[in-house]
Chains A and B, each alone.
Chain A
Amino acid sequence: MKSVKYAPAILIGRAVRVLARWRKPGGGSAIPGVVVNRIAPRFLADTLNGFPLGLVIVTGSSGKSTTTKMLVAVLRAHGLTVFTNQSTANISQGLTSALLERVSLTGYIAGDVAVLEMDEGHGAFIAGSLTPRVVALTNVMVDQIDRFHDSEMVAGLLAKIAARATETVVLNADDRYLADLAHTLGSSVRVSRYGVTADVLAQYPRGLGYADTATARLPSGMGLQLTGMAGRTAEVEFPSSGRHGVTLPARGIHYAVDALTALGAAEATLGESFDPAVACAALSAMPAVFGRGEVVTVGGKIIEFVLVQNPSSFQLNVNSLEAGTEQIIVIIGSDVRDPSYFWPVDTSGLGHVLIASGLKAHDIALQLAYDNVRVDRIEPDVPTALDAFLALPDPASGVKTIIFSADGMRRTRAHLGLVSNAEESV
């Protein structure tokens, strides 16, 4: 595939990129992709399929962004050069533009492997063009958008992507939809399963948030297992090399499961070269993820940020909140269009919330009241609420904890003058 046949398209794409930046500094990044995809429609697929260690795709309802970052960190720790993306609405144009930055005129990209994060809906894009060596599936959850469709449909979309795998499909055995999906794959494709043990699952009485949890756990030795979970520390059992500890980038069972997905995908990608100790060390060295349990210091006060993106992450974050946390503010913004959205969440574990804030302050306060959570104050104005919250003396137990929706996070960040270290696209 490394031929000069794409040279004209690449040159034109680069020229368009320069023009786009003249017009709008720092912007216009998808435009070159549009142009190249029009004049050389096979460029993208040929380039992505052509990496020496192939293409790895990470997809699923939630956790794919974190999983992709974890997988990239593990592969890099093994000495690989990795091409990767952030999922965008128009994946084809975004990827082409990103590749143009890196590609030589002969179509060659310095790199060992490509790792792509994809949405469920991107199946049509890869069908018939991409041939991933490995496809890693995180879960089927019902989110703000998906609940207007249904889980079967999401599972069907994931099955289409998984069907493109040439070598291995890595999947979550605790997710019933994904466990069932394994039976639809061709016999030449290896299925690598991961899951939590019954003991770990028992720590989460309300489950892990999947649309449907498989009735049975993965038997020991049949795949990667999460055997222990406490705070930010997870214990993972590899069938081949026993148990290893991992420090997660934030507290929460979902991060541990993301780590399992990433480790499974890394093992499938690297084969014999995969080293569990190197992999776990790489995961433990990852920086904390902003807005999902990151601890920051603002004006000498220690604050923990907890981002709730959907009912599942809200529930998991409530469940994994440190016991005795006495200073909590909840900021729910205009991004939560429908107040019923969070009602499947049992928020009673919060116990006592000092301030409910954001455009939906009264809506969330109403839910908290019915969950027996004491709410001291409702203050829709976010800056006013934050100032009052931060002015309080340090708590005797736990850290100041801010639970926010994405809109609440943006407003908080703006008011506190914080720059994020990762613009999460979910």
Chain B
Amino acid sequence: MTATSIERPFTVVSLLPHLLDTNGDAGNARVLAQRARWAGRAAQVVDVSTRADLPEHVDAVSIGSGTDAALLPARDALRTLVEELRIWSNSGVPILAVGTGWELLSWGIDLADGAVIEGLGLVAGHAVPRVSRATDDIIVSSKYGRLIGFENHARDYVGAEASPLGRVVYGTGNGDAPASGPQIEGLTMGEVFCTHLHGPVLARNPGLADYLLEAAFRRSGLSYSRGAMATSVDDTAQTVRNQVAVRLGQSAE
């Protein structure tokens, strides 16, 4: 542990929030920063649209979801940051990518009209059109706990079978239930986490948030322990998750 790592604020990069915040996913950056503060560390969110916005140190990265009209401009902007993204993902900086933000990190996106948008190729797999949009609550069983969120996507994701985030208990996830094998949601690769659960996925599922924070703190030689404020806020999140679970015929936790 060095003095500088404590002095400098915990820094979460929010990538392209102007283009990729349709479903409130950029809020995941502020969830990480706030939980770091509640754990006693100064923290900041840095919105990054171009290389010029990049802070010196990066502790965690959040990429949100946008409209299809934003796919190309977002992909082109992300391409200018591909070197950083590769370095971050190879060096264990936690990255959370949601919805189209995830799709852009993949090999590519097949559009309904037959066109293909080449992705950054950072994670395996690609996105393919669905017959109809998946828009509903989603429940996923994962090693970070039962994840409950809302999904809203017009494409499935294929190629994540080797390392999904979890198994779908209710909802669609990466695609409708296959003839054989489990119905899965999301993708993980090292500390890169990709999911369809949009909006405040980390606020509603603090188990996942704290996993990312522990990984990020560890890189600075620090240990993360949940703050007192987080404990009370997480009770609220638990209530929210239970409300959804019970409504969908699952048990409360």
Contacts and interface: CB of A to CB of B under 8 A. Distances in A.
Interface of A: 142, 147-152, 338-344, 362-363, 365-367, 369-372, 378
Contacts of B31: 370
A248 to B, nearest CB: 29
A339 B237 CA distance: 12
B22 A343 contact: no
Contacts of A339: 150, 199-200, 204, 240
Contacts of A147: 22-23, 67
Given A147-B23, A148-B133, A150-B69, A363 B30 contact: no
Contacts of B24: 340-344
A366 B23 contact: no
Interface residues of B, number: 30
Contacts of A344: 21-22, 24, 26-27
B21 A372 contact: no
Interface string B51-95: 000000000000000011110000000000000000000000000
Given A142-B22, A152-B69, A340-B24, A370 B30 contact: yes
Given A142-B22, A147-B67, A343-B24, A370 B203 contact: yes
B195 interface: no
Interface of B: 21-27, 30-31, 34, 67-70, 133, 135, 150, 152, 198-200, 203-204, 229, 233, 236-237, 239-240, 243
B233 A150 contact: no
Given A148-B135, A338-B199, A339-B200, 8 more contacts: A339-B150, A339-B199, A340-B27, A340-B198, A341-B199, A343-B26, A343-B27, A366-B204
Give the interface centre of B22, B25, B135, B152 by most chain A CB atoms within 10 Å: B22
Contacts of B68: 150
A366 B30 CA distance: 12
B67 to A, nearest CB: 4
Contacts of B229: 369
A130 B219 CA distance: 65
A370 B239 CA distance: 16
B200 A340 contact: yes
B36 to A, nearest CB: 12
B236 A366 contact: yes
B199 A362 contact: no
A151 B240 CA distance: 31
B163 to A, nearest CB: 25
A339 B199 CA distance: 7
Top 10 A-B residue pairs of the complex, sorted by shortest distance between their CB atoms: A340-B199, A343-B24, A150-B67, A343-B27, A340-B24, A150-B69, A369-B233, A362-B240, A152-B69, A338-B150
A27 B30 CA distance: 49
Interface of A is mostly: helix
B150 A371 contact: no
Give the interface centre of A341, A367, A371 by most chain B CB atoms within 10 Å: A367
A366 B22 contact: no
Nearest to B137: A338
B27 A370 contact: yes
B27 A362 contact: no
Given A148-B152, A366-B237, A371 B23 contact: no
Contact of A366 (B21, B26, B150, B203): B203
Contacts of A150: 67-70
Nearest to A155: B69
Contacts of A342: 24
A132 B229 CA distance: 58
B136 to A, nearest CB: 9
A344 B31 CA distance: 13
Contact of A372 (B34, B152, B198): B34
A343 B27 CA distance: 6
Contacts of B69: 150-152
A363 B22 CA distance: 18
Give the interface centre of A149, A152, A366, A378 by most chain B CB atoms within 10 Å: A366
Nearest to A152: B69
A114 to B, nearest CB: 34
Contacts of B239: 362
Nearest to B206: A366
A371 B68 CA distance: 28
B150 A378 contact: no
Nearest to A343: B24
A381 to B, nearest CB: 14
A371 B24 CA distance: 13
Given A151-B69, A344-B24, A362-B243, A369 B150 contact: no
A343 B199 contact: yes
B135 A366 contact: no
A230 to B, nearest CB: 29
Contacts of B22: 142, 147, 344
A338 B229 CA distance: 25
A369 B236 contact: yes
7 contacts: A147-B22, A151-B67, A340-B27, A343-B25, A367-B27, A370-B30, A370-B200
A367 B203 CA distance: 8
A249 B23 CA distance: 31
A405 to B, nearest CB: 16
A148 B154 CA distance: 9
Contact of A338 (B70, B133, B152): B152
A340 B237 contact: no
B236 A365 contact: yes
Contacts of A343: 23-27, 199-200
A214 to B, nearest CB: 15
Contacts of A367: 27, 200, 203
Give the interface centre of A365, A370, A371, A372 by most chain B CB atoms within 10 Å: A370
A338 B26 CA distance: 16
A402 B23 CA distance: 25
